Structure 1
Amino acid sequence: MRTRLRRFVVMAVALLTATASLPAAAAQRQGRQEHPSHGGLSAVIRYTEYGIPHIVAKDYANLGFGTGWAQANDQVCTLADGFVTVRGERSRFFGPDAAPDGSLSSAAKNLSSDLYFRGVRETGTVEKLLAEPAPLGPSRQVKDLMRGWAAGYNAWLARNRITDPACQGAAWVRPVTAMDVAARNFALAGLGGQGRAVDGITAAQAPTTSTVTSTPGKQSTAAPDAKQTAEAARELFDTADMGSNAVAFSGATTENGRGLLLGNPHYPWQGGRRFWQMQQTIPGELNVAGGALLGSATISIGHNAHVAWSHTVATGVTLNLHQLTLDPADPTTYLVNGTPERMTKRTVTVDVKDGTPVTRTQWWTRYGPVVTSLGTQLPLPWTATTAYALNDPNAANLRASDTALGFSKAHSTADVLTALRHTQGLPWVNTIAADSGGHSLFTQSQVLPRITDELAQRCSTSLGKVTYPSAGVAILDGSRGDCALGSDPDAVQPGIFGPAKMPVLTDAPYAENSNDSAWLANADRPLTGYERVFGTIGTQRSTRTRGAVEDVTAMAAKGRLTVRDLQAQQFANRVPAGDLVADDAARACAALPGGTATGSGGKAVDVTEACAVLGSWDHTMNIDSRGALLFDRFWRKLTAAVPAAQLWKVPFSAADPVRTPNTLNSDAPGFTTALADTVTELRTAGIALDARLGANQFVVRGEQRIPVPGGTESLGVWNKVEPVWNPAAGGYTEVTTGSSYIQAVGWDGSRCPVARTLLTYSQSSNPNSPHYSDQTRLFSGERWVTSRFCEKDILSSPGLRVIRVGDHR
C-alpha cells in the first residue's frame, strides 16, 4: 500500500511538472482547453502530520484552487463568516445589533459593518483596484490565484458536508466569487485606516442644528480637547490586538555562516485573522511554505529553500486626518483655497434580520470619508463650521498579495527588498528576513501617508500640533491646497512614501523587532532620520522590546547559533518585568509591619506567604512555574494603579534605553494595595498563591484542559499570550491573541532548509476535526513540527495522505 501511494504521488507530481514544462504556446493551448473560466481546475494535495497540506499545481489558477479547497476543508465556517462581512450582510443573517468578531474592521455592531462594506461594494471600489495595471494593481498571477481560490472553495462546498457546528446547515454559507476574495484582502489592508474608523464613517451626519450635545454616541458641536485627543490617539494606536516578535541573525553569529530567522507573530486565536499553514508548489516556478491569513491565496509569513521572513506590526500611523473648513451656508460643502467643493453623498441600504431595511448616508471628500470618531476613544465632531476627513492610502492598496508572492520567489534578502520596492504592498507590518547566504534584514517598508515632519509643521491645525508629535496622527488643514501630501518619485501610488524613505537595516549581526519603532532594530546600530509618522526615536521602549534586545544581543555575542538556539529562545518564557521587579517586591513585602497590607476595601490582608512565593519564583512563565500567576496578577494591578513616572526610581534614559527605567519604587502609592488585592483575589478564587501556572492558565478543547505557557504584554515575555481571566472557571481560561504561526528557520548547506514550525491554535477551528487541537497540545509541551519541505521529507511522512481535487464539469 505504501509503495502504491508513493507511486501515485510521484506520478501526480510528474504530470504537473510536465505540464508546467510545456513550451509556452502549448501550455497556453492546454490552459484554454482544460481550464475554461467556468471550471476545470485541479491540484494535488499531500497532507502530512498535523493536517499540513502540501499543494502542487501546474499554474497559479490551479494552485489557488487547491489552496481554496484545503482552507475550506479546515476553516469553512470562519471563512464563510468573513465573506458575510465583506458582502455587507451581517445584519441580514445575524441581526444589526450583534457584534462582529473584529477580524475585518473595528465596527462595534453588524449594522455599521454592513453600511461600510455595502458602500465599498456598491461604489465598485475593489473592482477599480483590480482594473489598475500592475504594479499599482494586482498582477495577473495574483488575480489567477484569487480566481482559483474562489473556485476551490466553491468546489469544496459543493462536494462536502459541513460538520462544524458553528455553521452546519447555515444559509449564510454560500459560494463566493473572486471579487469576494479580493474584497477580503481589501479589508485586511485597511485594518489600520478606514477599518479602524468604520463606526465614525457610517455615523457621520451633517449637523442640522447648532445645539451642542454631549450624549455618548451622538455628535457634538464642541471642539475636541487637544490634550485629551492626543491621549486618545496614543491609546488607539497602542492597543492593537496584534503584535509580534521576530529576529534575523546574520552569518557572523551562526555556526555555519548562514542566516537564521525566528518569527513569533502575535495574532488572534479566533476569527478571520488566524493563520493557516501550507506549502505551495508550482514545479519550476514556486516552492514556498508557511502561514497564510485565512482567505488569502499567498503565504504571509514563511520560507523557501533560500530565504525566510516574518512580520511584526509596525508603529507607522497608516492614516491621517484633514480638518475641513465648511461653507457656512452648507455643512456638506467644504472650502479648498476658498473654492467650495461639495461632498459626495453615498446612500447605502442594508437588509436587517426580522426588520425593515436600514438606509444611511455617508459623506466623502477628495481626502476620503468624513468621520466623527476613530474607535471609541477619539471623537471628531462635525459642526456647522468644521468636519474631519480620513485619508487612508491603503484604501487604494490591493498589492499585498504581490508582495507576498515576491517574497515566496526570493533567493535572498536583497530579493525581499526588491519585492518590497517593486510592489509597495505591505499596509501595517515590518519585515525581518534572513537567507542561506548569511544576510539579515529589517525594514519598515509599509504603505504610509506621505506626512513629512516639514508638512506637519507647516500644515497642522491646532489639534494636529498636539496629536502629531505625541501620537504620529497628523491633522492637516484641508482648506489649503499647498497642504496636499504630494508624491515621492519612487512611490507606485500618489500620496505615500517611496522606498527611499523607509528605515532599512541590512547585514547587522541581529535585526529584531517587538512592535516598537525601527530605532533599536539593532541596539548597536540604531536607525534614525525617519519621519515621525513612522515612529519615535529616543523614547522609552516596551518591556517586551527591552527583554528581546537583551536576549538576542546575548545570543549574538555567544555566537555559533543554530536553529536549536531559536527554539530555546521561543520557549525560554523569561519575564523581563520579573527580573526588574520581583526580588525588590519580595523584600518590600517582607518588610511590611506585621506582614500585612491594606487592600482597596480598607481591609488588612496577611501577605506573608506572598512574600515568600515572590522571593522563590523563577521569573519565568513556564507552565510548571510556581509564583508566576501571583506575579502576573500583582503586576497587572500595580501598573494599572501606579503612573509609570512613579513606578521606577531610575527613570528612562535615551543613552541607555535597554536598561532603563529600572529599580522598583515600592514606596509608590498603590504598591501595598496591589499586593493585598492580589492575595485576596487568588484566595477568593480558591487558587493557591504558589499554584503551578499551567493549572490556572489553560485553554479548553473539547473536554480537555490544555496548559498554556507564556505571558501578557506588560510582563515582556517573548512568548506572548493574552488570556482571559475567569477565576470562577479556574483562572485564565482562553487566549484571545498571542503566539500563532511560529517558525525557526536556518540552512545547513543541503537543498532543504532546516525549519521547525508551530501553529499554536492548530489548523482547524472545527471541534470535530482531528486537527482542532493537536498543535495546541504541542505548544503546551513546547514541542515543534519538523518542516517537511523537500520531496523526500514529504514522501517519508508517516501520516502522508494524498488527494487530487478538481472541478471538472
Structure 2
Amino acid sequence: MDLRTRLRHLVLTATALVTAAAALPPASAGAADAGSRNRHLSSGGLSALIRYTEHGVPHILAKDYANLGFGTGWAQAADQVCTLADGFVTVRGERSRHFGADAAPDGSLSSATKNLSSDLYFAGVRQAGTVEKLLATPAPAGPSRQVKETMRGWAAGYNAWLAQNRVTDPACKGAGWVRPVSALDVARRGFAVSVLGGQGRGVDGITAAAPPETGAARTSVVDRERAAAAAREMFASDNADMGSNAVAFSGRTTANGRGLLLGNPHYPWQGGRRFWQSQQTIPGELNVSGGSLLGTTVVNIGFNDKVAWSHTVATGVTLNLHQLTLDPADPTAYLVDGRPERMTRRTVSVPVKGAAPVTRTQWWTRYGPVVTGLGASLPLPWSATTAYALNDPNAANLRGSDTALGFAKARSTQGIAKTLRRVQGLPWVNTVAADSAGHTFFSQSQVLPRITDDLAQRCSTPLGKVTYPASGVAVLDGSRTDCALGSDKDAVQPGIFGPSRMPVLEDAPYAENSNDSAWLTNADRPITGYERVFGTVATRRSLRTRGAVEDVSAMAEKGGLTVGDLQRQQFANRAPAGDLAAAGTVEGCTALAADRPDLKEACGVLGRWDRTVNTDSAGALLFDRFWRKLVASVPQAELWKVPFSAADPVRTPNTLNTAAPGFATALTGAVSELRAAGIALDAPLGKHQFVVRDGKRIALHGGTESLGIWNKIEPVWNPAGGGYTEVTTGSSHIQAVGWDGGRCPVARTLLTYAQSSNPSSPHYSDQTELYSGERWVTWRFCEKDILRAPGLRVERVRER
C-alpha cells in the first residue's frame, strides 16, 4: 500500500468515525458529550483530525464543537504560538511584569500606549469579573453553549500543543510567559476585540483618570473646535489601522446567474490581529472555510457551499460620552436629577518587572468608566465640577463568535440577515454577502449606542453640539435621566439600536463598501435615513471608495462576471489619485521646471507613469512620495478646483489645483528625497517597495490609502534601507468566491503574510511570494479535493 493510499485510508476511516459520532441520537449524543467532559476533567480525551493541504492550510474535522475547538487551538498554536501567547499576556494584565511598564504593546488588543496602562485596564476587567458575567448571561444576549464549547476546546488544544511540542520560534523560545491558558482567557481575548472601538480606545484615559487635587481649578475648559477636529480625525476611515473592501455581485451580473463575492480586508501584517486560514467541519452540522482572527475559535470571514461573506470596518461610532456634573462637595460623586450618586472605586495593582507593583484606582459610573481623554489629541479633563464617562455597549457584547457561527451555518444571504437580527453581535464592521442563488446583501449591523439625532439634539452638551455633527461622537448631559439612551424593542440588550434601525441593502446588482458610510453602497440605490452615529449621508467619499465604485459599477454593467474577474479586480492596482491628478501634476511640474531645470526629469517620469502601482510601474514611487506630502499639507477644500457635489459623488471633487500652497514644496520635496536616498526617479515600484523574509527581498505591488488603491498596503518608509521595507497593514485574507452549480464552491484565496509568523516554518512567507506574483491559492473545500492535495499531511491530534 503506497503512501497516498494509506493517507486516504486513514482519512476515510477517521471521517467515518466522526460521521458516526455525529449521527448519534440526541440522548446518546448528550451522554457522549457528558462522558467527554468528564474525561476532559480527569485524563483528557478531546481530539480532532487535521488535514494540511498546500501552504499549510488545515482542514479540521471533529465530531462536536469542543473537539472542533481543540483542533483549531492546536493548529493555531502550531503556526502562531508566540503571537497568541503575547496576546494572552495582555488580557491577563501581565505585560509590565514580563516586558516592563514603559514598553509599548503592539496595539492589537487596545490603543494603550504603554504596557502599564494596558495592564491596569485588563487587570481591572479581570478583577471585576466582567467576562465571567457575560459568559453567565443566557443566549442570545450572552454566548451560546456551542461557542462556549469551542472556547473550552480551543484552550485545551492550545495547551496540548504546548505540552507535546517544542517552541522553535525565536520570538518566544524558552520564554516564561508562554503558558497554558483557560477557556476564560480565550473569552477575555474575545472581549478585548469587541471593545477595540470603545473602551479599547480610551484605555490610557481610563487608567489615568484621577480626581482633581484640592485647590485645583474648579472648571475645565475644552476647546470645542479642536475637540471636534480631533474626534473627526480619530474616527476617520483613512486614519484607521484597519479597513477593507468587499463587493458582492448578483446573479443578474454574472455568467451563470449565481452570486460572486470579493473580500479584501486591510488588517495588520504583524501582531494579534492577523488572520489565519482554515476549514472547520463537523459532519452533518458545520462545514465552513475562511479566515479567523488569531485566538478566535470560529471563522470570521469566509464561505460555505451556499453563501460567502466578508466584513469591512464600519463608520458607526461605537462609544459615546456622558458629561457629568459633579457634587460640589465631592468630585467623586455626580448628580443625576439633582441627587448625588457616588462613583465606584476599582483599585487595581499590577506587577512590574524590576520594580515595585503599581496600584491605581479607576472610577466607574452608571454610564461606564471615567475617562480623561480619547487619545492624546482629545483631552477630557476631570475638574472639581465636571468629568466625563465613556459608554461602550460592546462591553456587554460577547456575541461576535455566535454571529460568525450563524454565518457559517447560513444557506443564503437571508440566513446571514437572520443571524444578524437574532444575535446582534458585530461591534465595528459591516457585512457584505452573496449566495449561490444569485442574491446580494449589505448591512451595517453594528452594536452601537442608541444615539438618535433627536436625543443628540435634546441632550448634547456644548461640547457634544460640535463633536456629534463632526464625527458622530455624542457627548450627552449625564445629569438628566431623560437623556438616557433608551431601548429598541427588537434589541437584545438595552441601550443599543435594534435590527430594524440598521442600514441594509438587498439584491442590488452590486453591493460594495470601502470603509465609507453606507450611503454609496450602490451608487444607483443610495442608502439614507439612518442616524448620524452610523455615518454620514451625501458627503465626500474617499478616493478608495470612489475608485471602487467606478470599478465595480463598470463590472456590473458589463456583466458575464466570473471568479476570474474578481481576481483581476483585486490586482488591477489602478491608482485613482493618478487618474485624477497625474496630468495636472505634470502640467504644474512643467511650469515649475521653467525656473527649476532639476525638475525636468521628474516631469517626464510622471508623464510616462501608467497610473498603476504594479511592481514594474515606473514613476509610481515618485508620485506616491509627492502625493503623500501634498495631501498632508493642503486641505481638501484647497486641493481641487471642482468641489464635491452630492449630485455627482463618484466624480467630484476633481481637477488638481496646482496653484495651492504646498504643491511646489511637495513636488520638489519628493524629488529631493528620492535623489538623496539614491533612488532613481523612474525606478520600478517593486525595486523599492518590498519586504524581506528569510533574507530574501519580496517585491510588493499595491499602495497607500490616499492614492485610493483597492489593493491597499501601508508600507514603512526607510530611505536608508532602500525605500519601503516593511508593511504595517493592508490586504490580508483575500477571497474571491463563486459557485458553478456543483457541491463545491469555486474559491481562490490568499493570505498575504502567510500562515505562520515563525521564520523556521515552511509557511512563513510562501503566500507572500504568491501575493508578490499575483498568484492565488485554489481552495480545497470538498473531501475529494482535499484528498487530492499534493503533499497532503494528516495529523490525528489529541489530549494526553
TM-score w.r.t. length of structure 2? 0.98
Q: Distance in 2 between matches of 1:707 and 1:454?
A: 52
Q: Could you say which residue in structure 1 is the equivalent of 2:62?
A: 57
Q: Could you say which residue in structure 1 is the equivalent of 2:34?
A: 32
Q: Could you say which residue in structure 1 is the equivalent of 2:14?
A: 12
Structure 2 residue ranges without an equivalent (≥5): none
CA-atom RMSD in angstroms: 0.9
- Tell me by how many angstroms 1:640 deviates: 1.2
Q: Distance in 1 between matches of 2:375 and 2:280?
A: 38
1:178 aligned onto 2:183:
yes
Matches within 5 A, 1:357-376: 357-376=357-376
Q: Distance in 1 between matches of 2:688 and 2:36?
A: 56
Q: Could you say which residue in structure 2 is the equivalent of 1:708?
A: 700
Q: Distance in 2 between matches of 1:254 and 1:469?
A: 40
Q: Could you say which residue in structure 1 is the equivalent of 2:354?
A: 354
Q: Could you say which residue in structure 2 is the equivalent of 1:563?
A: 563
**Residue in structure 2 matching 1:232, options 208, 230, 233:** 230
Q: Distance in 1 between matches of 2:584 and 2:233?
A: 30
Question: What's the secondary structure of 1:379's corresponding residue?
Answer: coil
1:206 aligned onto 2:211:
yes
Contact 1:210 1:384 in 2 (8 A): no
CA displacement 1:411-433 (0-9 Å, x = unmatched): 00000000001000000000000
Question: What's the secondary structure of 2:356's corresponding residue?
Answer: coil
Letter in 2 for 1:363: W
- Tell me by how many angstroms 1:352 deviates: 0.5
**Residue in structure 1 matching 2:112, options 104, 107, 128:** 107
Q: Could you say which residue in structure 1 is the equivalent of 2:265?
A: 265
Q: Could you say which residue in structure 1 is the equivalent of 2:646?
A: 654
Q: Distance in 2 between matches of 1:78 and 1:376?
A: 27
Q: Distance in 2 between matches of 1:321 and 1:721?
A: 33
Matches within 5 A, 1:192-341: 192-212=197-217, 222-238=220-236, 239-341=239-341
Letter in 2 for 1:40: G
Q: Could you say which residue in structure 1 is the equivalent of 2:607?
A: 615
Q: Distance in 2 between matches of 1:405 and 1:494?
A: 23
- Tell me by how many angstroms 1:595 deviates: 5.2
Q: Distance in 2 between matches of 1:298 and 1:336?
A: 43
Q: Distance in 2 between matches of 1:94 and 1:221?
A: 39
Contact 1:221 1:381 in 2 (8 A): no
Matches within 5 A, 1:357-756: 357-594=357-594, 596=596, 606-756=598-748
Q: Distance in 2 between matches of 1:789 and 1:657?
A: 40
- Tell me by how many angstroms 1:35 deviates: 4.1
Question: What's the secondary structure of 1:3's corresponding residue?
Answer: helix
**Residue in structure 2 matching 1:758, options 750, 753, 767:** 750
1:155 aligned onto 2:157:
no
CA displacement 1:638-683 (0-9 Å, x = unmatched): 1112111111110000100000000011111111111111110000
Question: What's the secondary structure of 2:66's corresponding residue?
Answer: helix
Question: What's the secondary structure of 1:29's corresponding residue?
Answer: helix
Q: Distance in 1 between matches of 2:32 and 2:449?
A: 45
Letter in 1 for 2:357: P
Letter in 2 for 1:773: S
Question: What's the secondary structure of 1:798's corresponding residue?
Answer: coil
Question: What's the secondary structure of 2:235's corresponding residue?
Answer: helix
Q: Could you say which residue in structure 1 is the equivalent of 2:786?
A: 794
Letter in 1 for 2:232: R
- Tell me by how many angstroms 1:593 deviates: 5.0
CA displacement 1:120-157 (0-9 Å, x = unmatched): 00110000000000000000000000000000000000
Structure 1 residue ranges without an equivalent (≥5): 213-219, 597-604
Q: Distance in 1 between matches of 2:215 and 2:220?
A: 10
Contact 2:593 2:600 in 1 (8 A): no
Q: Distance in 2 between matches of 1:785 and 1:466?
A: 49
Q: Distance in 2 between matches of 1:606 and 1:640?
A: 24
Q: Could you say which residue in structure 1 is the equivalent of 2:133?
A: 128
Identical amino acids, percent of aligned pairs: 76
Letter in 2 for 1:717: I
Q: Distance in 2 between matches of 1:734 and 1:221?
A: 47
Contact 1:242 1:268 in 2 (8 A): yes
- Tell me by how many angstroms 1:28 deviates: 2.1
Contact 2:250 2:257 in 1 (8 A): yes
Letter in 1 for 2:5: T
- Tell me by how many angstroms 1:373 deviates: 0.3
Q: Distance in 2 between matches of 1:462 and 1:334?
A: 19
Between 1:318-327 and 1:641-650, the stretch displaced more is 641-650
Q: Distance in 1 between matches of 2:544 and 2:591?
A: 30
Question: What's the secondary structure of 1:416's corresponding residue?
Answer: helix
Q: Distance in 2 between matches of 1:97 and 1:184?
A: 22
Q: Distance in 2 between matches of 1:592 and 1:94?
A: 52
Q: Alignment length, in residue pairs?
A: 793
Change in 2 beyond 3 A, CA 1:501/1:770: same
Change in 2 beyond 3 A, CA 1:205/1:458: same
CA displacement 1:9-46 (0-9 Å, x = unmatched): 11111110111111111222223334424221000000
Q: Could you say which residue in structure 2 is the equivalent of 1:188?
A: 193
Letter in 1 for 2:22: A
CA displacement 1:28-66 (0-9 Å, x = unmatched): 222333442422100000000000000000000000000
CA displacement 1:504-538 (0-9 Å, x = unmatched): 00000000000000000000000000000000001
Question: What's the secondary structure of 2:624's corresponding residue?
Answer: helix
Question: What's the secondary structure of 2:63's corresponding residue?
Answer: coil
TM-score w.r.t. length of structure 1? 0.97
Q: Distance in 1 between matches of 2:760 and 2:219?
A: 53
Q: Distance in 2 between matches of 1:308 and 1:634?
A: 39
